[in-house]
Amino acid sequence: MLTLWHNARIATCDADMQVFENGALLTRGGKIEWVGPEPAIPQALKSGIGGDHDLAGRWVTPALVDCHTHLIYAGNRASEFAARIRGVSYEEISRRGGGIASTMRATRAASEQQLFDESAPRLESLLAEGVGTIEIKSGYGLTLEDEAKMLRVARELASAYSVTVKTTFLGAHALPPEYAGKADEYIEALAGEWLPKLHAEGLVDAVDVFCERIAFNTAQCERLFNSARKLSLPLKMHAEQLSNIGGSQLAARHNALSCDHLEYTTFEDVVALAGANTVAVLLPVAFYSLAETHKPPVDVMRQRGIRMAVASDCNPGSAPGASLLLALNMASRLFGLTSNEVLAGATRNAAQALGEQGVRGTLAPAFAADFAIWNSESLEELGYWVGYNRCRAVVRGGQLARGTLS
């Protein structure tokens, strides 16, 4: 049976960012059957329509995709935020045993149920803003058992909520105390034991690394990348957030799905990423929260045709929040992204950063019938409002999942 969604202004978020002012969607079996101007609905399809939803002229976009989060953790790091206000740097806090290590201790001490209970409200906040697909990383357990615990909770959240969850193994997030002074041995454990086991348990959709002075060097990151490729797992990378030690070049050589942060990325790095079709994921909430001043080279990214995504980076340290809409506003105000760029950055390009570009993030035939309905007068409002959510409803698989159509 076909379901008609009509009297809508539809932003398809396809390659041309096509918009239908008097638009309609036909859905069947969880997928989009047809999209276009309402008067152009094919006659052959009209006879099969069994459901009808009048959207009263509201805007419809693909359900948003949050392609970089650290959603699952225990505790918070408000005291570190206060320390940064007093002038202590993120790097210095990390070297004193705070930062990721602080969240690691809290996460290790938490049960799976506690992690679920603490993480669910953050997920609900994002879903209320029109998010239909989310990436969730591990990386706060830093033992095989605790990394598995985090990834299991991510799968449990996917079962409990109407959302597509893509899990990413980020064991190479920080060096745990058990391996102090033995970073190479830790990477060997990740690559040779942990990742194969977690993958065999069906817990891993992609592999990420933190390539930075306070984390892991390029040789160590490449060792883990090689292990992931043997398992046919896609790759992602945190790179050039605080310095440039060659992460983007490594990501490009391995055709990573995405390279994220990129504040210290060079022209040569952008050229390499563009050549590899690697998505540049911008994380403006972290940029803001850390009071950074070195911006990612957005103009160069535009010139080289690199796809730019925007994500919430939801985490307890550098991006303590759960709002993709706020990230869109910050990407506009702090990085100068246009309204079309932030919309593509939270739909089509974000889907590509998760390897989902042929399935989600665009309203087109054969794509998932996942879309958000907005009480907005214009698309520009997605990157305009601060702390004001205009999402009216979310449809997942052709079924109303959140909000109301009336």
CATH for 198? 3.20.20.140
Q: What is the pLDDT of residues 340-357, one digit of tens each?
A: 999 999 999 999 999 999
Whether residue 75 sits in one domain with residue 24: no
Same domain, 376 and 257: no
263 and 226 both lie in a single domain: yes
Question: Is 126 within 8 Å of 324 (Cβ atoms)?
Answer: yes
What pLDDT, on a 0 to 100 scale, did the predictor assign at position 90? 76
| Listed residue (167, 177, 155, 153) closest to 104, CA to CA | 177
Q: In this structure, are 247 and 262 located in the same domain? A: yes
Clarify whether residues 206 and 307 are in a common domain. Answer: yes
| Shared-domain flag, residues 6 and 22 | yes
User: Are 82 and 149 members of one domain?
Assistant: yes
- Is residue 63 exposed (0-12), middle (13-18) or buried (19+ Cβ within 10 Å)? buried
Q: Quick: pLDDT tens for 31-82.
A: 999 999 999 999 999 999 999 999 999 999 999 999 999 999 999 988 888 8
Which residues, 6 or more positions from 238, have their beta carbon under 8 angstroms from its beta carbon? 208, 209, 210, 211, 212, 215, 247, 260, 261
| 25: containing domain | 2-61+362-403
Q: What is the pTM of this model?
A: 0.96
The domain total for the chain is 2
CATH, residue 395: 2.30.40.10
**Which tens digits make up the pLDDT trace of 354-399?**
999 999 999 999 999 999 999 999 999 999 999 999 999 999 999 9
User: Does residue 406 register a pLDDT over 90?
Assistant: no
Q: What percent of the chain has pLDDT over 90?
A: 93
**CA pair distance 67, 73, nearest whole angstrom:** 17
Amino acid at 245: I
- Of 314 and 94, which is predicted with more confidence? 314
CA torsion, points 209, 214, 217, 220, in degrees to nearest 10?
-60
Indicate whether 20 and 155 sit together in one domain.
Answer: no
Q: What is the pLDDT of residue 294?
A: 96
Name the domain boundary from 316, 332, 353: 353
Contact by Cβ (8 Å): 176, 186: yes
Cβ of 209: how many Cβ atoms within 10 Å? 32
379 and 323 in one domain? no
SS3 call for 235: strand
Q: Are residues 148 and 44 in the same domain?
A: no
In terms of domains, do 51 and 74 share one?
no
Q: Taking the C-alpha atoms of 375, 380, 385 and 390 in order, what is their torsion angle to the nearest 10 degrees?
A: 20
What distance in Å separates the CA atoms of residue 255 and residue 232, rounded to the nearest whole number?
A: 12
* Residue 81 confidence (pLDDT): 81
pLDDT digits (tens, 9 = 90+) for 257-302: 999 999 999 999 999 999 999 999 999 999 999 999 999 999 999 9
